[in-house]
């Protein structure tokens, strides 16, 4: 469609050197063409042109002093991409690879993901090229305080509510919240993923991983399949990976491989998840230090080779573009029946093609990993109501939300002639709500 192509070309021209942002735009825009054909107003009032341009982009210097008394300078970002259905909402990532293009791709995905949850949340994302790895708690605290000293001007419980992502967990959220409260002199739910003693929600820690598995259960269930007895390879060993692994085990599956950015461990008899959880969450170890040589679990360098481990189900839960065409072909030839994206955009477009061509069930991240932000939405509700729901209550709400996301995505795929293609379904179902809100709110 010429209109869609023109918008894609404009994005590439206006945002040079941002390959991840281009990648997500090239994935999403063509898949929503059928909706645009049905509703010419989208074109007439430039919905797409506005949809691909962030409402606001904030870039700032973050200066802090390390334990040796040396001044360090990092760069901070917050992309407030789209607020048509609610306040901006999306995580903060602290990782050396963070740049404006990665922030924009993540914020753009977040718009559609948040829309799919059915909760009133707009799309945003932020972070820094700061690397928390190897830093002392005091250094992480000083960095977080400096980061928030600028960010606090741009966020608020009714405006923009950040959360965690890669490199931002309970420790960082605590430091960020403390500094926000001190600067603004208000106690409000400005961040989610907070500790349970200061406004956090049950299940937020587990939510993305558990939500991924709830989504996969729906997808597998449609084919009369389930996790029982299945061998599952999970990349990463962070927040998403650990709780996806835990839920897989609870459902009778066997986690045969996990990784970090240095390498992966594997064991066809199953990995001891509690051992990994303790090593990663409490002792902050590398995965090579978590495995027990006596237990027949093996370690290999090169994290991306994890996809050569024979498995029935693959759950990429580490980072973007970690499954390329070759890895996808290896998974298919090893008999993999389903792939679920816990991470954001972990499969390249070529890899997705391989899965679709070979009838491998494919769960796109914006739908399958939406459980984290959905539970953040539930945390926001509890903060406003000044109440707490029990673990069981939040878990039940999360499960219902994931079932609904599956249903919406799958029905949209059928409605627009792409039965079984959840990528197309999730993009259309997510965009539909945004487009209606943008149409109603005029040209802003």
Q: Check if the beta carbon of residue 86 is closer than 8 Å to that of residue 114.
A: yes
User: Looking at beta carbons only, is 149 or 427 nearer to ligand NDP?
Assistant: 427
Tell me which residues touch ligand NDP (CB under 6 A).
Answer: 164-167, 208, 236-241, 260-262, 303, 317-319, 342-344, 369, 372
User: How far, in Å, CA of 371 to CA of 379, rounded?
Assistant: 12
Residue of this chain nearest to ligand NDP (CB atom): 238
What are 360's two structure tokens?
């491998």
Please identify, using beta-carbon distances, which residue of 82 and 149 lies nearer to ligand NDP: 82
- Shortest Å, Cβ 86 to ligand NDP: 17
3-class secondary structure, 352: helix
Q: Cβ 150 to ligand NDP, closest distance in Å? A: 22
Tell me the closest approach of the beta carbon of residue 264 to ligand NDP, in angstroms.
Answer: 10
Cβ neighbours of residue 324 under 8 Å, at least 6 residues apart? Answer: 348, 350, 351
Q: Which is nearer to ligand NDP, 76 or 342 (CB)?
A: 342
For residues 219 and 435, which CB has a smaller minimum distance to ligand NDP in the complex?
219
Identify which of residues 36 and 109 has a Cβ nearer to ligand NDP in the complex: 109
d(CA 267, CA 177): 40
> How far is residue 68's CA from residue 173's CA, in Å, rounded to a whole number?
24
CB of residue 110 to ligand NDP, shortest distance in Å:
9
Question: CB of 291: closest distance to ligand NDP in angstroms?
Answer: 14
Residue (of 382, 405, 342, 391) closest to 118 by Cα position: 405
Question: Looking at beta carbons only, is 145 or 319 nearer to ligand NDP?
Answer: 319
Pairwise CA distance, residues 213 & 211, whole Å: 5
d(CA 281, CA 372): 18
What strands lie across the sheet with 338-340, from one edge to the other?
298-301, 263-266, 254-259, 231-235, 313-316, 338-340, 361-363
Cα separation of 213 and 321, whole Å? 21
Sheet-wide strand order for 160-163: 56-65, 71-82, 122-128, 88-94, 160-163
CB of 109 to ligand NDP, least distance (A): 9
- Residues forming the active site: 125
| Rounded Cα distance, 115 and 374, in Å | 10
């Amino acid at each position: 469609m010429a209109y869609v192509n023109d918008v894609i070309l404009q994005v590439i021209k206006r945002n040079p050197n941002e390959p991840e942002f281009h990648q997500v735009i090239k994935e999403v825009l063509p898949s929503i063409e059928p909706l645009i054909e049905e509703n010419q107003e989208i074109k007439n009032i430039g919905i797409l042109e506005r949809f691909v341009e962030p409402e606001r982009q904030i870039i700032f210097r973050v200066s802090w002093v390390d334990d040796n008394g040396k001044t360090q300078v990092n760069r901070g970002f917050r992309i407030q991409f789209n607020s048509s259905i609610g306040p901006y909402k999306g995580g903060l990532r602290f990782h050396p690879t963070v740049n404006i293009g990665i922030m924009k791709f993540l914020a753009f995905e977040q718009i559609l993901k948040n829309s799919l949850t059915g909760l009133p949340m707009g799309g945003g994302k932020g972070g820094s090229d700061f690397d928390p790895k190897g830093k002392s708690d005091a250094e992480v605290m000083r960095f977080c305080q400096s980061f928030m000293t600028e960010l606090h001007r741009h966020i608020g419980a009714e405006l923009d509510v950040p959360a965690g992502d890669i490199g931002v967990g309970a420790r960082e959220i605590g430091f960020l919240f403390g500094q926000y409260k001190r600067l603004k002199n208000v106690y409000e739910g400005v961040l989610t993923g907070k500790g349970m003693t200061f406004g956090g929600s049950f299940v937020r820690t587990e939510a993305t991983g558990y939500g991924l598995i709830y989504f996969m259960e729906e997808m597998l269930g449609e084919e009369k399949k389930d996790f029982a007895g299945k061998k599952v390879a999970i990349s990463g060993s962070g927040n998403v990976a650990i709780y996806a692994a835990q839920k897989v085990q609870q459902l009778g599956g066997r986690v045969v491989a996990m990784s970090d950015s240095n390498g992966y461990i594997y064991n066809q008899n199953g990995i001891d998840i509690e051992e990994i959880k303790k090593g990663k969450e409490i002792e902050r170890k590398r995965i090579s230090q978590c495995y027990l040589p006596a237990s027949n679990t093996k370690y290999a360098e090169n994290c991306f080779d994890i996809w050569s481990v024979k498995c029935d189900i693959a759950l990429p839960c580490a980072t973007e573009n970690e499954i390329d065409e070759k890895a996808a072909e290896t998974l298919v030839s090893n008999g993999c029946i389903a792939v679920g994206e816990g991470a954001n955009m972990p499969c390249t477009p070529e890899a997705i093609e391989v899965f679709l061509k070979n009838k491998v069930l494919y769960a796109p991240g914006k739908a399958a990993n939406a459980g984290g932000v959905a539970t953040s939405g539930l945390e926001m509700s509890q903060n406003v109501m000044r109440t707490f729901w029990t673990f069981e209550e939040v878990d039940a709400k999360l499960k219902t939300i994931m079932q609904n996301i599956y249903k919406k995505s799958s029905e949209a795929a059928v409605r627009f002639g792409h039965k079984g293609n959840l990528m197309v379904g999730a993009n259309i179902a997510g965009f539909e709500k945004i487009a209606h809100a943008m149409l109603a709110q005029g040209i802003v």
